[in-house]
């Protein structure tokens, strides 16, 4: 006997149908999804806003550092001051009192300045590096002696700040670093077209200096270059070799598991720990010289190795097993299969990991402070064992300087560093897109 067919429920005790419950549930889920998307979009927008504010603030403070103020003066290269004995000896020309030539030119421009204190203040509008500028001119061309030439001399950092609008003239005189008499001299020079801003080539060609108008990033750039080159030379072969062994040849046991766990943990260790390790081992035990690209590269190698190993293992994993099997099937040895077939296919991913590791190393400061690369280095290094600093440390040193002009140079150096970081990350993306194969 067949049982009667029970019709599906069409409602509940309140009289609502099942479809009404389903529609209400769908509305709640759709509303929750819209709220989640809105919160995600708000978070992304807020993050981009903060990044935009950061970039705008850095650029607003730093773009003026790419210009430098110069003062034009008619310099009389007096033979009595430069070469009194007429020997044209290079040592005599180098030791001449070139500041006296600048003082004579300033006195000729402002003959009304007769008080000694006023004369000192007038001389201060020109940079302390201006005499060396004249010295280089005379050493390069001794024929200037006895002539009068119009020369654009580097202005003092306070004059540079005034020319860039960083000095508020409305403030009382005792609240400004430039008094009214100095502003009057600068106004007179500007009215005659003898005060001018030009592209600051010295920012890219000079080493560090206590004087802001003379300070540049050439030494830090050279130190960063030598450090990164050595870091790449040390870390890439070791990292790729370690990844190849662990992924393809190492037996799977508790020791390799322990090594893999420690490599992953090292990738998250604070960078200053590597600086302490370098200080204790490389400097304390092996006696590697402090504040050189060599010691910096050794420490950066320790820091970037986990990143390169992890990225290289991921690249090796992405190569299909059929490549290995086919190579072994035609008679290749396991080593030949890896080096001739697997490694070339995994190389784009390995290079990407290496470049990202180098980008991280370029932006690091803490480990380098521990190994002495915070030293004040004036000369541009020319080798891997010359005393040097790197760009992040140079930024740290300038940020701690009290002079107002170092603020813009700090921001400008940050802009240069960010440009290099973005270029390296862009290179990594382009390499991956250009050479990566999808299986």
**CA terminus-to-terminus distance, the chain:** 61
Q: Which domain holds residue 158?
A: 65-206
pLDDT band at 301 (very low <50, low <70, confident <90, very high): very high
Confidence of residue 3 (pLDDT cuts 50, 70, 90): low
pTM for the structure as a whole? 0.84
Q: In what order do the strands lie in the sheet with 148-154?
A: 148-154, 67-76, 195-199
**Separation CA 316–CA 311 (nearest Å):** 9
CA dihedral over 399, 405, 411, 417, signed as positive or negative: negative
Q: Is residue 383 part of a domain?
A: yes
57 assigned to some structural domain: no
- Does 289 lie in the same domain as 228? yes
pLDDT at res. 167: 85
What are the tens digits of pLDDT across the range 182-219? Answer: 999 999 999 999 999 999 999 999 999 999 999 999 99
pLDDT at 29: 86
Query: Residue 176's pLDDT band (boundaries 50, 70, 90)?
Result: confident
Asked if pLDDT for residue 373 goes beyond 90, the answer is no
In percent, how much of the chain has pLDDT > 90?
50
Extract the runs of DSSP E, i.e. beta strands, from 332-373. none
- Say which residues have a Cβ less than 8 Å from residue 387's Cβ, sequence separation at least 6: 291, 292, 375, 377, 379, 381
- What interhelical angle do 254-266 and 293-318 show, nearest 10? 120
Residue ranges with strand state E in 139-206:
148-154, 195-199
Domain boundary (206, 233, 260) is at 206
pLDDT at 51: 92
Across 387-411, average pLDDT? 90
pLDDT digits (tens, 9 = 90+) for 135-157: 999 999 998 998 999 999 999 99
Are 174 and 125 contained in the same domain?
A: yes
Q: Domain tally for the chain? A: 2
Pick the last residue of a domain from 206, 236, 266.
206
Lowest mean pLDDT among 5-19, 145-159, 302-316, 325-339: 5-19
Which one has a higher pLDDT value, 317 or 18?
317
Mean pLDDT over residues 378-392, rounded? 90
Contact 232, 418 (CB under 8 A): no
**In the structure, what pLDDT confidence band is assigned to residue 4 with cuts at 50, 70 and 90?**
low
Task: Say yes or no: 195 and 228 in one domain.
Answer: no
Average pLDDT over residues 335-349: 88
Other C-beta atoms within 10 Å of 154: how many?
A: 24
pLDDT on residue 14: 54
**159 and 224 inside one domain:** no
Residues 250 and 199 in one domain: no
Residues in the chain: 439
Do 168 and 249 sit in the same domain of this protein? no
Cα Rg of the chain (Å, integer) = 33
SS3 call for 56: helix
Mean pLDDT across the chain, nearest whole number?
A: 88
Question: pLDDT digits over 100-139, tens only?
Answer: 999 999 999 999 998 999 999 999 999 999 999 999 999 9
135: enclosing H helix or E strand: helix 130-140
**Cα angle value 292/298/301 (rounded, 5°):** 135
- Do 81 and 115 lie in one domain? The reply is yes
Q: Give residue 16's pLDDT.
A: 60
Contact 219, 204 (CB under 8 A): no
Residue of 155, 217, 229 whose CA lies nearest to 378: 217
**Same structural domain, 422 and 278:** yes
Instruction: Measure the CA–CA gap between 70 and 151, rounded to whole angstroms.
Output: 9
pLDDT attached to residue 2: 56
Specify whether 197 is located in the same domain as 261. Answer: no
313 and 382 fall within a common domain = yes
DSSP state of 144: G
The per-residue pLDDT for 11 is 54
Task: Tell me which residue of 232, 245, 226, 372 sits closest to 305, measured CA to CA.
Answer: 232
- Is the per-residue pLDDT at 251 higher than 60? yes
Of 175, 206, 237, the domain-final residue: 206
Confidence class of residue 360 from pLDDT cuts 50, 70 and 90? confident
């Amino acid at each position: 006997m067949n049982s009667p067919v029970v019709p599906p429920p069409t409602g509940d005790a309140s009289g609502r149908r099942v479809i009404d419950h389903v529609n209400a549930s769908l509305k709640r889920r759709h509303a929750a999804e819209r709220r989640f998307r809105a919160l995600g979009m708000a978070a992304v927008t807020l993050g981009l806003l903060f990044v935009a504010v950061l970039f705008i603030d850095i650029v607003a403070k730093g773009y003026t550092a790419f210009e430098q103020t110069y003062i034009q003066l008619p310099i009389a290269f007096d033979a009595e001051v430069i070469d009194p004995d007429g020997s044209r000896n290079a040592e005599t020309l180098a030791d001449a009192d070139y500041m006296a030539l600048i003082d004579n030119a300033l006195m000729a421009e402002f003959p009304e300045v007769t008080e000694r204190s006023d004369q000192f203040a007038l001389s201060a509008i020109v940079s302390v590096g201006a005499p060396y500028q004249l010295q280089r001119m005379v050493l390069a061309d001794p024929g200037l002696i006895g002539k009068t030439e119009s020369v654009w001399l580097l202005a003092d950092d306070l004059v540079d700040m005034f020319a860039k609008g960083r000095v508020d003239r409305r403030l009382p005189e005792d609240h400004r670093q430039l008094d009214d008499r100095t502003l009057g001299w600068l106004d007179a020079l500007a009215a005659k077209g003898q005060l001018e801003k030009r592209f600051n080539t010295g920012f890219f060609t000079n080493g560090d200096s206590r004087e802001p108008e003379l300070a540049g990033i050439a030494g830090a750039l050279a130190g960063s270059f030598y450090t990164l080159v050595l870091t790449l030379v040390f870390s890439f072969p070791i990292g790729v070799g370690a990844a190849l062994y662990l992924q393809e040849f190492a037996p799977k046991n508790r020791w390799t598991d322990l090594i893999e766990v420690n490599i992953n943990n090292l990738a998250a260790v604070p960078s200053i720990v590597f600086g302490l390790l370098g200080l204790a081992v490389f400097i304390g035990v092996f006696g590697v010289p402090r504040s050189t690209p060599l010691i910096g590269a050794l420490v950066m190698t320790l820091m970037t190795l986990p990143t390169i190993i992890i990225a290289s293992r991921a690249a090796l994993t992405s190569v299909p097993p059929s490549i290995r099997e086919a190579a072994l099937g035609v008679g290749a040895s396991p080593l030949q299969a890896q080096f001739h077939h697997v490694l070339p296919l995994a190389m784009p991913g390995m290079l990407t990991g290496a470049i990202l590791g180098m980008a991280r190393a370029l932006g690091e400061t803490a480990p380098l402070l521990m190994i002495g690369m915070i030293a004040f280095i004036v000369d541009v290094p020319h080798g891997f064992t010359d005393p040097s600093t790197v760009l992040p440390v140079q930024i740290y040193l300038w940020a701690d300087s009290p002079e107002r002009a170092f603020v813009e140079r700090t921001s400008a150096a940050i802009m240069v560093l960010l440009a290099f970081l973005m270029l390296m990350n862009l290179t990594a993306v382009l390499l991956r897109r250009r050479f990566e194969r999808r299986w």
